[in-house]
Structure 1
Amino acid sequence: MELHFFKDFDFTNFWNESTYSQRDYIEEFPDDKLITSIEEELGYKLPASYIELMRIQNGGLVDKDSFPTTIGTSWAEDHIAITGIMGIGREKTYSICGELGSQFMIEEWGYPNDGVYICDCPSAGHDMILLDYSKCGKSGEPEVVHVDQEYEYKKTFLAKDFETFIKGLKTDED
């Protein structure tokens, strides 16, 4: 597969290959038909960079799990943390259309319906990472934001797009 977005990115030590990741996150690689049906179900066009990453590995826990911030959140003063990236699918618990996926967070937890929730966080649902379409429309290029349920669903800007978000993830030690 020819890469358009992650050509210069080293995925060494990026994914966490645990049995938990296999069981609850990693989906089969998405084909065009599945991607179209997921986009129709969610009502948003998924970013090409997200689709490309999911064709490398479709979801999973990550070892590069921290993203620096300039303002504090309920998690930390200088970063947010993620547990995993939700894959494109419906089968696994933590897929964007899975049991605890994007729609669940909107319908059951009251998260803003401004896009697609793509990463869960170590807080067990008290904060999430959102592909935020509120500025670009349902088929534009969404920003990536942290949504903090503990602070009345406050959004903290993280990255201008999904590729920038992935490339900005660091390990806790970094």
Structure 2
Amino acid sequence: MELRFFKDFDFTNFWSECSYSSKDYIEDFPSDETITEVENKLGYQLPGSYIELMRIQNGGLVNKPCFPTTESVSWAEDHVAITGIMAIGKEKKYSVCGELGSQFMIEEWGYPADGIYICDCPSAGHDMILLDYSECGKNGEPQVVHVDQESDFKKTFLAKDFETFIRGLKQEEEFDGE
């Protein structure tokens, strides 16, 4: 596959190979039809970098689950953590249109309907990672933000786009333990 994004990114050991990831996150590679169906259902155009990553592996847990922040969030003073990246699909529990996907977080938990929730966090629903379309419109390039349910759904800017977010993920050991 010819990469448009992630050209010099090393995916060796990026994904966590575990049964939980296989059971609840990883779906078959998304076809063009599946992508269109998901975009129509969610009402947003998926970023090219997200589609490309999901065509390498469609969802799953990652080995570098932390992203640095410049401000404190409920998780930590200097970073957010993700559990996994949601697949483009609807079959697995943690896919964007799955049982605990983006629409569930908006409809059942009251998260802001500003885009697509693409990563869950270790807090079991109390914070999420959002592709935020509120500034770019439904067909633009969304920013990546952390949304904190515990702080009245406060948004914390993480990255200008999805590729930058993925490239910025770090090992937990790079942050001071508390």
CA RMSD in angstroms comes to 0.4
Unaligned runs of 5+ in 1: none
Percentage identity across aligned positions? 78
- The residue type paired with residue 16 of structure 2 is N
How many residues align structurally?
Answer: 174
**Deviation beyond 4 Å, 4+ runs, structure 1:** none
TM-score by length of 1: 0.99
Deviation by residue 1:146-174 (Cα, 9 ceiling, x = unmatched): 00000000000000000000000001112
- The residue type paired with residue 77 of structure 1 is E
C-alpha distance in 2 between matches for 1:154 and 1:146: 8
TM-score by length of 2: 0.97
Which residue in the other structure is 1:173 paired with? 173
C-alpha distance in 1 between matches for 2:48 and 2:74: 30
Unaligned runs of 5+ in 2: none
- The residue type paired with residue 115 of structure 1 is G
Which residue in the other structure is 1:68 paired with? 68
Q: Give the CA deviation at 1:12.
A: 1.8
- The residue type paired with residue 21 of structure 2 is S
Q: Give the CA deviation at 1:28.
A: 0.2
Name the SS for the 1:49 alignment partner: helix
- The residue type paired with residue 162 of structure 2 is F
Which residue in the other structure is 1:28 paired with? 28
- The residue type paired with residue 93 of structure 2 is T
Q: Give the CA deviation at 1:104.
A: 0.1
Deviation by residue 1:123-162 (Cα, 9 ceiling, x = unmatched): 0000000000000000000000000000000000000000
**In the alignment, structure 1 residue 38 sits paired with structure 2 residue 72:** no
C-alpha distance in 2 between matches for 1:81 and 1:138: 26
Name the SS for the 1:80 alignment partner: strand
Which residue in the other structure is 1:8 paired with? 8
